[in-house]
Every structure is written in structure tokens, then in C-alpha cells.
Structure 1
Amino acid sequence: MTHPPQRVRVTRTRTGDTRPRRPSLHEEIGQQSPLGAAYLDSLVRAQLRLALTVVASLALVLGLLPALFALVPAVRGAQVAGLPLPWLVLGLLVYPAAVLSARQYTRAAERIEAQFADVVADR
């Protein structure tokens, strides 16, 4: 008479691999480990570099307008449709330039964050 094999309850694997599991990058960032802090610092540096670039370029363009008006009297005294040219430039070109700069900044910041999220998701 043959007996059926005895049932065995498996509670864990028998591989003998007792190495601790390496935390994911998402957990590293959440736990504020040195590796997570390094990744987060790189994100902050990239966003700061972007912000400083946008502010510097906008400040340069806006800073050059008064210099242009001061150095070139013909531009300062010119009129278009009865309005002084400096007023038109300041009223019609500066605000769209600021809005476009803000729009480009937002897109670039979102791209940086998406790249960071991809890196975190992959590891």
C-alpha cells in the first residue's frame, strides 16, 4: 500500500540568501538617506539653475531697454501713431516677454520634474 506524500507547509524560501533587501530610490528619498538626499539635491540644483537663468535673461533684456533709451536719443524721441516709442516698447513688448518667459520656465521645470520622476521610478 502506497501512502500519499506528506504535506509540507512552506513559510519561507530555502535559498539561504539572508542579504537585506536594498531599498528603492523612492524609499531612499522618503527616508532622507544620503543617496536620497543626493538625488533630491540634484533636483533642487537643476530647478535653481533654471530659475536663475530665466531671471537673469529677463533682467538682462529689461535692463538693456533703459540703456538703449538713454544712449540713443533718436529712439527715445521717436513716436509711433502719436505715442512715444519707449512707452510702446514697455507696454507692448515687455509683458508678453515676461509671460513667454514664465511659460517656458514652467515647461522646463515640468520637464525636469518628469525626468526626476522617471529616474526614481526606474530604480
Structure 2
Amino acid sequence: MADVSTPEGPRRVRVTSPRTSAARRPIIPTGTREIDEQTRLGEVYMSSLIQSQLRLALAVIGGAAIVLGGIPLLFALVPATRTFDVFGLPLPWLILGIVVYPVVYVAARIYVRHAERIEAEFTEFVGRQ
């Protein structure tokens, strides 16, 4: 048999896609691209998200502070509550030892639920842009 290899080595073949000559679609800026590239619009999106989260946090903290801060006010304004007993326990101990925890838990659940909603709405909005 004869040797068919050339002294230069194997011949290179260029493989191309049939779509290389097709017109390319213009790149449409999306909200996520704006955020990733840190453009001015991306900064506006992020500051909007941060402001929404801050408003939510301040509202939940304010509500919990009013409820929990109202307990000492209740004891100060209504002296009978200081000596009132429930199931043999003084009312201040019952409120401060037991009732406070469900209030904090509910505040945390409200915060998490609303924060997830804010983030889902933001993600949906940015994805549409």
C-alpha cells in the first residue's frame, strides 16, 4: 500500500454553523443585565429593592416595639395589673415570660412572608425588563 499522508501533516478542516451568515438578534437589555453590569438603571433597581426591604424592616420593628413597649406602659398606667394573678402567676411574669415570645414569633413570620413577596415581585419585575 502507498502512504497517503503528506509531509506537512493532517489537513485542517474548518467547521462552521449554517447560522453564521444569519442576522444576529440585537441584545435587548434586561433588568438582570443592568444589575450585573452595574449601570445607573441597575443601581436604581437595587436601591428600590433595598428601600422596600428597609421600609418593611422598620415597620415590623416599629410594630413589635409598640406592642412590647406598651407592656410596661400598661403596668404603669393600670396599677391593678401589677398585682393581678392568673392561674397563681403574677400577670407581669405571665406577660413577660410567656406572651412576649408569640408576639416576637408573629412579627418574624410577618417579616419573612413580606420579604419573600418583595423579592419575588422584584425578581419578576427585573426578569420582564
TM-score w.r.t. length of structure 1 = 0.83
Matched pairs, number: 111
Out of 94, 117, 121, which is 2:123 matched to? Answer: 117
The code of the aligned residue for 2:57 comes to A
Which residue matches 1:52? 58
Structure possessing the higher radius of gyration over alpha carbons: 2
Greater RCO, CA 8 A, separation 6+: 2
- Equivalences for residues 58-77 of structure 1 within 5 A: 58-77=64-83
Which residue matches 1:99? 105
Q: CA deviation at 1:109?
A: 0.1
The code of the aligned residue for 1:11 comes to S
Q: Which runs of 5+ in 2 are unaligned?
A: 1-18
Q: Which runs of 5+ in 1 are unaligned?
A: 1-8
| % same residue | 51
Which residue matches 2:84? 78
* Aligned Cα root-mean-square deviation (Å): 2.0
The code of the aligned residue for 1:63 comes to G
- Shift of the 10–52 alpha-carbon distance from structure 1 to 2, 3 Å rule, reads closer
Which residue matches 1:6? none
Q: CA deviation at 1:13?
A: 2.9
Give the distance between the partners of 1:99 and 1:77, measured in 2 at CA.
Answer: 27
Out of 70, 73, 90, which is 2:96 matched to? Answer: 90
Contact kept? 2:35, 2:43, Cα under 8 Å: yes
- Shift of the 10–74 alpha-carbon distance from structure 1 to 2, 3 Å rule, reads closer
Which residue matches 1:13? 23
Contact kept? 2:30, 2:128, Cα under 8 Å: no
Q: CA deviation at 1:12?
A: 4.1
Describe the superposition over 1:6-34 as per-residue Cα deviations: whole angstroms up to 9, x where unpaired.
xxx962439xx9xx634211110001100
The code of the aligned residue for 2:74 comes to L
